[in-house]
Amino acid sequence: MATTVAGPAGSNNDWRSAETAAGRNVGLSLWRGVRGRCPRCGRGRLFCAFLKVDDHCSICSLDFTGHRADDLPAYLVIVIVGHVLVPIILWIEVDYAPSLAFQLGVYLPITALASIALLQPVKGAVVALQWSLRMHGFDEHPSDELQT
């Protein structure tokens, strides 16, 4: 069941948009972020480089400059990869006691590849979560509007 956060009454009611009059759909925006797409429209690209978030969506013009993902994606990737690989590695170590060469030749590349593969989807999900919960620069009144 998807959670929505209340939104403004005049929001875009297009069925393809995660932002409706009822609010911003958290589940849909997270899925779009994991796929590297704009959390609002799902069609524009979220990243302009591997981990560089674009300034705005090329389709719906959503401004991404207010996001504050910082180090959270890296911490989440460490937790995910650690919780998946450590039990497997410990099981192999206890039951088979492989050589040091095997450990360095297999565990290290698998850990590095899994971490690199998860970085962009996790960062996209963090940015999408910030948008759906109206955090930081994704609130209804950006800081530059409040000052005028």
Q: Is the pLDDT of residue 134 over 50?
A: yes
User: How far apart are alpha carbons 89 and 6 in whole angstroms?
Assistant: 44
- At 17 the pLDDT is 73
Sheet of 23-25, strands arranged across:
4-5, 23-25, 19-20
- At 16 the pLDDT is 65
Q: Which residue has the higher pLDDT, 126 or 1?
A: 126
Q: Cβ-count burial of 86 within 10 angstroms (0-12 exposed, 13-18 middle, 19+ buried)?
A: exposed
| Sole residue written with tokens 């403004």 | 8
Mean pLDDT value across residues 47-63: 94
Contact 18/25 with Cβ under 8 angstroms? Answer: yes
One-letter identity of residue 74? A
User: How far apart are alpha carbons 56 and 69 in whole angstroms?
Assistant: 16
Mean pLDDT value across residues 88-113: 95
Indicate the Cα dihedral angle 110, 82, 80, 92, nearest 10°: 60
Contact 137/143 with Cβ under 8 angstroms? Answer: yes
Q: Which residue has the higher pLDDT, 145 or 23?
A: 23
Structure letter (DSSP) for residue 68:
-
User: How far apart are alpha carbons 129 and 30 in whole angstroms?
Assistant: 6
Phi and psi torsions of 17, nearest 5°: -90, 145
- At 21 the pLDDT is 60
- At 20 the pLDDT is 72
